[in-house]
Chains A and B, each alone.
Chain A
Amino acid sequence: MEIQVMENILSKNDKIAAEINAIFSSHGIFVLNLLGSPGSGKTSLLEQTIMTLKGDIRMAVIEGDLFTSKDADRIARYGVPVVQINTSGGCHLDATMVKGVLDKLALATLDLIIIENVGNLICPAEFNIGEDVKAMVLSITEGEDKPLKYPLMFKQASIAVLNKIDLLPYTSFDMAAATEDILSINPKIGLVVASCRSGEGLNGWYEWIKQQVINKKAGRIGCK
């Protein structure tokens, strides 16, 4: 006997993600899913972002990590609320995990939540976790072949930070080739070329976040 099914394998996750997004949206909170390889500089970008924006924007961080709370501890020093999710070895956050920590956040007091996903260029791209947009960090030390090797993440991200440009003179990274590949995968992506260590080049990133927070408050970013 044949049974026609035609069901999306990730539909359960997507349904929960939509529920969470509706909750965030009802509070006018802009939610960013931050992706990138281990060592690309996601946590450094978060630190710079918190230091720069915390006076203007009420923000909280959700830290996804395989086993440890190292990144969450690093972020907690900056005086913003941080919630830790341990995936116990899982390579990505899923919507159920984020739903499980919602009651640890004072949603009524927030404008922005940044969710630092597990360090990985592949798996997190497939799983929506209730975010409004995906943003990603690619460090130039990872090489310019990454966009064509892992195109999905570049396709799904609204903005990419090309990090560690202070190291450009010491690498063979081909900025023109990388930029061309990223833009051919996703012609609408925002590109920020920066060093999260020095803070150089990050203004475009801060302005983009501020604008997204304003748009969300005005109801111009809907539920996906």
Chain B
Amino acid sequence: MHEMAIAQGILDITLDNAAQSDAKKVITIKLLVGQMTEVEPEAMRFCFSALAEGTIAAKAELKIKIVPLVVYCQDCGRKFVIERYRFLCSACGSANVKIISGRELQVEYLEVD
């Protein structure tokens, strides 16, 4: 279950940033999770709450925003959302498409006291 490693990453980033701002308590952690990551939000919350116990982030709420899988066609310049993981341009059929969102695993911002 790689959610444990990801939760550890979230906690490290959270505690570093909170310490830099002299925060006493972390209230919210806003995450961006791309649609094409293999992260199970519930498993991640569970791992996070286990790891955060005893820290200033112990009571923090994880707010997760799922980012859609969007690609850019390098042949015709169109941008579109990928469905059923068909990485072919919906307009010109080209396979020359580049992912522009949907692979995010990011801490966007924190709300602290």
Report whether chain A binds chain B: yes
Residues of chain A touching chain B, judged by Cβ–Cβ distance below 8 Å, are 1-13, 90-92, 94, 122-123, 125-127, 147-148, 150-152, 155, 181, 184-188
Given contacts A6-B108, A184-B86, contact A152 B95 (CB under 8 A): no
Taken together as a complex, chains A and B put the C-alpha atoms of A94 and B9 apart, in Å, by: 13
Contact A5 B107 (CB under 8 A): yes
Q: In the assembled complex, which residues on chain A have CB atoms less than 8 Å from the CB atom of B23?
A: 1, 3
Contact A152 B36 (CB under 8 A): yes
Whether a CB of chain A sits under 8 angstroms from the CB of B72 is no
Q: Chain A nearest CB: distance from B68 CB in Å? A: 14
Contact A126 B37 (CB under 8 A): yes
Who on chain B is nearest to A152 by CB? B38
Contact B38 A7 (CB under 8 A): no
Contact A126 B2 (CB under 8 A): yes
Q: Chain A nearest CB: distance from B64 CB in Å? A: 12
What are the nearest 8 A-B pairs in CB distance?
A187-B95, A123-B2, A9-B9, A151-B85, A9-B105, A184-B86, A3-B110, A5-B107
Q: Chain B nearest CB: distance from A88 CB in Å? A: 12
Who on chain B is nearest to A187 by CB? B95
Per-residue 0/1 for B34-71: is the Cβ within 8 Å of any A Cβ (1 yes, 0 no)?
Answer: 00111100000000000000000000000000000000
Given contacts A2-B111, A5-B109, contact A12 B12 (CB under 8 A): yes
Q: In the assembled complex, which residues on chain A have CB atoms less than 8 Å from the CB atom of B1?
A: 91, 123
Contact A184 B85 (CB under 8 A): yes
Contact of B87 among A8, A90, A92, A186 (CB under 8 A): A186
Contact of A4 among B39, B95, B109 (CB under 8 A): B109
Contact A126 B87 (CB under 8 A): no
Per-residue 0/1 for B88-112: is the Cβ within 8 Å of any A Cβ (1 yes, 0 no)?
Answer: 1000000100000000011111111
Whether a CB of chain A sits under 8 angstroms from the CB of B17 is yes
Given contacts A9-B106, A12-B12, A187-B87, contact A3 B38 (CB under 8 A): no
27 contacts between A and B (CB under 8 A): A1-B21, A1-B111, A1-B113, A3-B21, A3-B111, A5-B107, A5-B110, A9-B13, A9-B31, A9-B106, A10-B9, A90-B5, A94-B5, A122-B2, A122-B38, A123-B1, A123-B2, A126-B2, A127-B5, A150-B38, A151-B36, A152-B37, A184-B84, A184-B86, A185-B85, A187-B87, A187-B95
Contact A2 B6 (CB under 8 A): no
Contact of B2 among A1, A5, A92, A188 (CB under 8 A): A92
Q: In the assembled complex, which residues on chain B have CB atoms less than 8 Å from the CB atom of A11?
A: 9
Who on chain A is nearest to B107 by CB? A5
Taken together as a complex, chains A and B put the C-alpha atoms of A152 and B105 apart, in Å, by: 14
Q: Chain A nearest CB: distance from B20 CB in Å? A: 8
Who on chain A is nearest to B20 by CB? A3
Q: In the assembled complex, which residues on chain A have CB atoms less than 8 Å from the CB atom of B9?
A: 9-13
Whether a CB of chain A sits under 8 angstroms from the CB of B73 is no
Interface-centre pick from B5, B18, B106 (highest chain A CB count, 10 A):
B5
Taken together as a complex, chains A and B put the C-alpha atoms of A91 and B3 apart, in Å, by: 10
Contact A155 B36 (CB under 8 A): yes
Interface-centre pick from A3, A8, A12 (highest chain B CB count, 10 A):
A3
